Amino acid sequence: MTTPTKEFDVKKIREDFPILNRQVNGKNLIYFDNGATTQKPQAMLDKVSEYYSNLNSNVHRGVHTLSQLATTEYENARETVRKFFNAKSTNEIIFTKGTTDSINLAAYTLGKKFVNEGDEILITEMEHHSNIVPWQMLAEERGAKLKYIPLTDAAELDYSKLDELITEKTKIVSIVHVSNSLGTLNDIEKVIEKAHSVGAKVVIDGAQAIQHFAVDVQRLDCDMYCFSGHKLYGPLGIGILYGKEDLLDQLPPYQGGGEMISEVTMEKTTYNTLPYKYEAGTPNIVGAIGLAASIDYLNSIGMEAINHYEDELLGYSEQKLDAIEGIIRYSKAKVRKSILPFNFEGVYHYDLGLFLDKFGIAVRTGHHCCQPVMQRYDIQGTIRASFSFYNTKEEIDELVTALEKSLAVLR
């Protein structure tokens, strides 16, 4: 495992990620699709393998040794997550399948408790479909109105509209921390404060934030915060819903089943205490333990060092790509994080993505599950390079060379 150093030793860090050694189409893999999912450190892979080889059993219900060991590891993982983004209590940490699952849980429970006919839910024009569709479904079911904070031409939220949009009718505000399609870091503190002034609850989609800088949910004072383990160098199929304990205590359960109950008779059920009230069925035990291993790994590097290095990398990539003739860059906000969306005049994004793959370069093309953003810019999609702390300036130079070669053919 990498030990913390003052110098950011990217060469050494890369040795921790076995997949970075592989070749794609005869070239060294250059992985710039970190917004979609991140690659996995050996420390996490070892932990998952060790769990299945040495510890595998079900949690919470067993008196036998393996079950007790697995339960301890699972609950230790919850504590690791709590500490990572400074929640007050492990009762506030719910293991889910991922961001999408967490937002659906939030919409269902908050909706049932707080949203009635004529009420309003506020989201933004830059949301991922995961943070649009569950609210549309809720609004339709409850007869509520869904409103959007619009985007400015500078790819930022139009905060001047907040006073008009957040009123006594607003019950829930749900907003992305960092946009996956534009890279914008939103001023969520401003939105949270305004929403709380009318008593609305605030949900944050942290899917593209938590892996890039230190998040402190108590300082933010958000009511809920959602993220996916697989974007935080952890396993697939695990995610987090953070919710303030007094809020989660008031909310109804989401899914019914084993583990979330206190007592079941044929007539009725009483529910378990937090966090188990929201973890029906056998949880993703290995996912939680693997996620904790990834967080331990990230802590060994330090989120501040990661943030600093990734900002430097993004700045370098913008400077290099802006110099290529005909580039249209969509990330224009004052504060941006690790995401570089662009197009070239007269070139279809998908074709360019296919060409880059021939150079072993993985980027994402398309609408990035943000069709309203694409509609705002009147485009079908973009090419998105998204960076991690294991990427290098040399890889960005190779991207520039590959783009120039591809454009010479495609134009």
Decide: 115 and 170 in contact? Cβ < 8 Å.
no
The two three-digit tokens of residue 324, written as one number: 């290529």
In the annotation, is 370 catalytic? no
CA distance 107 to 135: 6
- Specify the residue, 60 or 97, whose C-beta has the smaller distance to ligand PMP: 97
Q: Is 16 exposed, middle or buried (0-12, 13-18, 19+ CB in 10 A)?
A: buried
The two three-digit tokens of residue 161, written as one number: 């509209």
* Residue with tokens 């009725």, as numbered in its chain: 268
CB of 263 to ligand PMP, least distance (A): 33
Q: Is 71 exposed, middle or buried (0-12, 13-18, 19+ CB in 10 A)?
A: middle
Residue type, 209: A
- Stretch (H or E) spanning 123: strand 120-124
- Specify the residue, 228 or 317, whose C-beta has the smaller distance to ligand PMP: 228
- Say how far residue 14 (Cα) sits from the centre of its chain: 22
* Residue with tokens 């960005």, as numbered in its chain: 396
- Specify the residue, 295 or 402, whose C-beta has the smaller distance to ligand PMP: 295
- Specify the residue, 258 or 366, whose C-beta has the smaller distance to ligand PMP: 366
Decide: 56 and 406 in contact? Cβ < 8 Å.
no
| SS3 of residue 342 by DSSP | strand
**Chain residues in the site for ligand PMP (CB under 6 A):** 98-100, 128, 130-131, 176, 180, 205, 207-208, 228, 369
CB of 282 to ligand PMP, least distance (A): 20
CA distance 368 to 33: 11
The two three-digit tokens of residue 99, written as one number: 């961001």
CA 60-264-248 angle, to 5 degrees, is 65
CB of 148 to ligand PMP, least distance (A): 16
CB of 36 to ligand PMP, least distance (A): 6
The two three-digit tokens of residue 22, written as one number: 């592989």
CB of 385 to ligand PMP, least distance (A): 15
The two three-digit tokens of residue 410, written as one number: 């495609």
| SS3 of residue 173 by DSSP | strand
- Specify the residue, 146 or 347, whose C-beta has the smaller distance to ligand PMP: 146
- Specify the residue, 70 or 222, whose C-beta has the smaller distance to ligand PMP: 222
CB of 33 to ligand PMP, least distance (A): 10
Catalytic residue among 222, 226, 369, 370: 369
- Specify the residue, 60 or 212, whose C-beta has the smaller distance to ligand PMP: 212
The two three-digit tokens of residue 158, written as one number: 């139009």
The H-assigned helical ranges of 124-222 are 133-142, 162-165, 188-197, 217-220
Decide: 131 and 372 in contact? Cβ < 8 Å.
no
CB of 106 to ligand PMP, least distance (A): 12
CB of 51 to ligand PMP, least distance (A): 21
Decide: 222 and 209 in contact? Cβ < 8 Å.
no
The two three-digit tokens of residue 347, written as one number: 């070139």
Q: Is 216 exposed, middle or buried (0-12, 13-18, 19+ CB in 10 A)?
A: exposed
- Specify the residue, 69 or 146, whose C-beta has the smaller distance to ligand PMP: 146
Residues 405-410: contacts with CB within 8 Å, 24+ apart? Answer: 405/355, 405/359, 406/352, 406/355, 406/356, 406/359, 407/324, 407/326, 407/344, 407/347, 407/352, 409/355, 410/347, 410/351, 410/352, 410/355
Active site residues: 369
